Chain A
């Protein structure tokens, strides 16, 4: 990458890195694909900048230069007309060459970005109004598990996400890692990407999908391969059994108050499929599809009145006594 491109990158990223929700920026590439795309983008940007400046200069000079005197509008200078005609056609040819050249640059970039690796780690992501179901599928069912709104991947290894939708069209987009791809009803799409560096990257639905489209985010956490393997091993296991009395009470309430009708918690009687899987909710960084950080306070506020935080989502407001709420929260927090 040329020096000036690097310099520009540094300038841009210093701007975009200030956020603490994880990075969500095309200008902050952390994956092989996003880097390639940014490279293509800069070539286009450079050409565009040169063309635009040239046009504005010609326009400006054309406006201020001293003009040939003429009495009336049809008093034209024939040699000028002919010369100009040739210049215009010449510029037309140059324009054609430029756009064809850019088409090739674009196609070369496209081939790199969409290159496929057969040995990629495969995940299935299913879009719901308005959250993400993430399925880690392996040959052995013991190695398969389901989570939501948070995707952990190993660094340096190609990851293939298979994209489907449970309802309307959504779009999977983690700009720091790669470009987006739609999740289309009745169609299977896929997208491959490789994270270069460990880190937390924010993603967001990019296709308008109804009332709460704005609150349909997710997190990608890229881990070093050994750490990823440990996490996967742990995630495969069923939920922790509550260690204390309050936790046991919470588990019972989770079933008694209807939570279990929609949410699944592996290793318990809770087997609902409508809402996000909560087997390891305690270890996730956000709740409500990236809307809030996962803390006891926010989780409590969410359970107390989900329609206030994200109007229109499917989770109903459950009438809970405060001691019941404390028990349920305590239980959920233990589900690490």
Chain B
């Protein structure tokens, strides 16, 4: 396929081979030098930074977890004061949810989705850069505050009235609430990019039923983010208003109500779990197909399950509020709706089991993590069915049983697939394989450590241990299980240390990967490892759901995009038929400047409402710079 060439423009159909690669690289590469690096709008560069930053926050959050486990290893320990402990468990939850789990999934999407759909860059690349800076600044803001002893101490859920000015007259809850604003802005931006990338930038021929399952998962996740996150932004902004300018959204003595906070927070908070879990399922599907050596059985079932999970996830937030005194029938209905989500999750599990059943599995590290995922996640899902029941929940709510449950679901459902994904895609990102030997150690330490750390918590919850207690008295008989759990946590932490060692070692000494070391089927493996700045010299044409397995000799391509300026091919939403060529933005420093201006605005507004006024002009200036017309050519058919 070729499009009518214009005179005087170099197109990728007149160049070939190395000359084409070099020309495109020159056009698409990130400018050199420090300023160049700060200007980068390459989704791979931004994605890599995003992944590394999210993992840095995982490390920090993990250190906090270990500190808590040391404190709880025995009764009445004084390793941490009550104040430190309360800050630490708040920071652990906030860091893991807002600075690690959600961003790391989006980070992988930022890196992988454009490659998987076969385009040259993500949609809205400058917004993407902006999103990363906002995430980075928001995370640093939270952690610097913590280091200055202004870390939030009201829980990652920040229930009012405890987080109100009356009961917490410090700046700590403001720091928490504004960190939420930072990360939500970042997450919303990425979601918009992913949706548009998937809808409009897919390679020709990649019809809706040929989209890789990971991409489908990220698409559904992005929609969840767009519908769920505004709720928490409204909640946290109202909280700041209550605290800063004396509004009364949550004050029951002036007609507000503390339960309003809980409804708004959990209307976000429950979909949040699926925002973290659904990308994990996408990673599982990708890894499983490659290592079971066959496509995932029930492609449409998996997609419909993802979409059903997305919808259902908005109808069960009330199960976080079963003990707030709701009407009994209403609570009972939310039991049923909460349990129903087990159906789509179950269907996906059945599809994966069948895939493994019929496949010819190659037991490399990524597959080990997927198998660990199934064993752990199913257990977590089943304890989830238990906590969905109103009578059972009145006992286990806010106890260590729930702590066990959601770590099984989130670590089992998202972190195991994620570590599997690191082993799986590291060769693509870094060009070298991770050590398989260390990988196996990593898996077994993680699997054993995780279960030793978290399984005893089920029992602790049942024998009466509440959550969020900085210590417990010696006569409570919780010491042995807590000690066991702390030991498991150390083993689990060790497994991550091993992952870090493996990454550092393999970056230098790892075996060279080549384009497609796993003989996988999706488009990201059709380009070199690491991919060149332009991703693909020519845009692939997709004729099959597993293009690299169907056309393993040579992939058909389409030519005709400009080779002298950044251009991407837009295709139709359903059938992915080529529509127009569109200019893709050049590198720019403005997204960084805009992020700095927004950061000043956000942080300033914790201290004075005037920051909203004085913070706006700099933001306007940076946005004008950002969108200043560069005189690029009109898009054309």
- In Å, the complex CA distance between A202 and B465 comes to 11
Known: A63-B371, A102-B389. A213 touches B469 (CB 8 A): yes
Minimum CB–CB distance from A191 to chain B (whole Å) comes to 9
Most-contacted residue by chain B among A88, A91, A205 (CB, 10 A): A88
B293 and chain A: residue at smallest CB distance = A73
Contact between A185 and B252, CB atoms less than 8 A apart: yes
- In Å, the complex CA distance between A200 and B231 comes to 44
Contact between A44 and B385, CB atoms less than 8 A apart: yes
A210 and chain B: residue at smallest CB distance = B162
Contact between A100 and B336, CB atoms less than 8 A apart: yes
Minimum CB–CB distance from B194 to chain A (whole Å) comes to 27
Contact between B464 and A25, CB atoms less than 8 A apart: yes
Q: Assess whether B615 is interfacial by the CB under 8 Å rule.
A: no
Contact between A214 and B471, CB atoms less than 8 A apart: yes
Q: Assess whether A55 is interfacial by the CB under 8 Å rule.
A: yes
CB 8 Å contact bits of A82-105 with B (1 = contact, 0 = none): 001101110110011001101101
Instruction: Please pick, from A12, A37, A70, A102, the residue contacting B395 in the complex, using a CB distance under 8 A.
Output: A37
CB 8 Å contact bits of A35-69 with B (1 = contact, 0 = none): 01100110011011001100110110111010110
Instruction: Please pick, from B159, B293, B294, the residue contacting A208 in the complex, using a CB distance under 8 A.
Output: B159
Instruction: Please pick, from B82, B331, B360, the residue contacting A211 in the complex, using a CB distance under 8 A.
Output: B82
Minimum CB–CB distance from A37 to chain B (whole Å) comes to 5
Contact between B394 and A179, CB atoms less than 8 A apart: yes
Contact between A55 and B162, CB atoms less than 8 A apart: no
Instruction: Please pick, from B324, B347, B351, B394, the residue contacting A184 in the complex, using a CB distance under 8 A.
Output: B324
B378 and chain A: residue at smallest CB distance = A55
Q: Assess whether A324 is interfacial by the CB under 8 Å rule.
A: no
Instruction: Kindly list chain B residues whose C-beta atoms are within 8 Å of the C-beta of A107.
Output: 332, 335, 390
Residues of B198-226 at the interface with A, using a CB-CB cut-off of 8 Å, are none
- In Å, the complex CA distance between A179 and B342 comes to 25
Contact between B392 and A106, CB atoms less than 8 A apart: yes
Instruction: Choose the segment among B182-190, B295-303, B496-504 that binds chain A (4+ C-beta atoms closer than 8 Å).
Output: B295-303
Instruction: Kindly list chain B residues whose C-beta atoms are within 8 Å of the C-beta of A27.
Output: 462-463
Contact between B360 and A67, CB atoms less than 8 A apart: yes
Q: Assess whether B136 is interfacial by the CB under 8 Å rule.
A: no
CB 8 Å contact bits of B463-475 with A (1 = contact, 0 = none): 1101111111101
Contact between A59 and B323, CB atoms less than 8 A apart: no
Q: Assess whether B438 is interfacial by the CB under 8 Å rule.
A: no
- In Å, the complex CA distance between A182 and B162 comes to 14
Q: Assess whether B359 is interfacial by the CB under 8 Å rule.
A: yes
Contact between B82 and A214, CB atoms less than 8 A apart: yes
- In Å, the complex CA distance between A96 and B345 comes to 11
Known: A96-B343, A212-B82. A51 touches B336 (CB 8 A): no
Instruction: Kindly list chain A residues whose C-beta atoms are within 8 Å of the C-beta of B257.
Output: 186-187
CB 8 Å contact bits of A101-121 with B (1 = contact, 0 = none): 011011101110110000000
Contact between A168 and B162, CB atoms less than 8 A apart: yes
Instruction: Kindly list chain B residues whose C-beta atoms are within 8 Å of the C-beta of A48.
Output: 382-383, 385-386
- In Å, the complex CA distance between A109 and B413 comes to 30
Q: Assess whether B36 is interfacial by the CB under 8 Å rule.
A: no
Most-contacted residue by chain B among A18, A41, A77, A184 (CB, 10 A): A184
Contact between B351 and A70, CB atoms less than 8 A apart: no
- In Å, the complex CA distance between A208 and B379 comes to 27
Q: Assess whether A167 is interfacial by the CB under 8 Å rule.
A: yes
The prevalent SS among residues of B at the interface is: helix
CB 8 Å contact bits of A156-183 with B (1 = contact, 0 = none): 0000000000011101010100111110
Most-contacted residue by chain A among B168, B301, B462 (CB, 10 A): B462
Contact between B331 and A110, CB atoms less than 8 A apart: yes
Known: A59-B375, A63-B371, A84-B354. A99 touches B342 (CB 8 A): yes
CB 8 Å contact bits of B283-320 with A (1 = contact, 0 = none): 00000010001110110010000000000000000000
B544 and chain A: residue at smallest CB distance = A74
Contact between B252 and A187, CB atoms less than 8 A apart: yes
Instruction: Kindly list chain B residues whose C-beta atoms are within 8 Å of the C-beta of A70.
Output: 293-294, 360
- In Å, the complex CA distance between A85 and B259 comes to 45
Known: A67-B360, A113-B391. A25 touches B463 (CB 8 A): yes
Instruction: Kindly list chain B residues whose C-beta atoms are within 8 Å of the C-beta of A99.
Output: 336, 339-340, 342-343, 385
28 chain-A/chain-B pairs, Cβ below 8 angstroms: A16-B463, A27-B462, A44-B385, A48-B385, A52-B382, A59-B375, A62-B354, A67-B358, A91-B350, A102-B339, A109-B391, A110-B335, A113-B391, A113-B394, A168-B159, A168-B162, A175-B395, A179-B393, A180-B323, A181-B394, A182-B325, A186-B252, A187-B258, A206-B467, A210-B167, A211-B83, A311-B81, A312-B83
Q: Other CB < 8 Å A-B pairs besides A113-B391, A178-B394, 6 of them?
A: A59-B374, A107-B332, A113-B394, A169-B161, A184-B258, A187-B325
Interface residues of B (CB under 8 A from A): 81-83, 86, 154-155, 159, 161-162, 167-168, 252-253, 257-259, 289, 293-295, 297-298, 301, 323-325, 328, 331-332, 335-336, 339-340, 342-343, 346-347, 349-351, 353-354, 356-361, 371, 374-375, 378-379, 382-383, 385-386, 388-399, 461-464, 466-473, 475-477, 521, 546, 549-550, 552
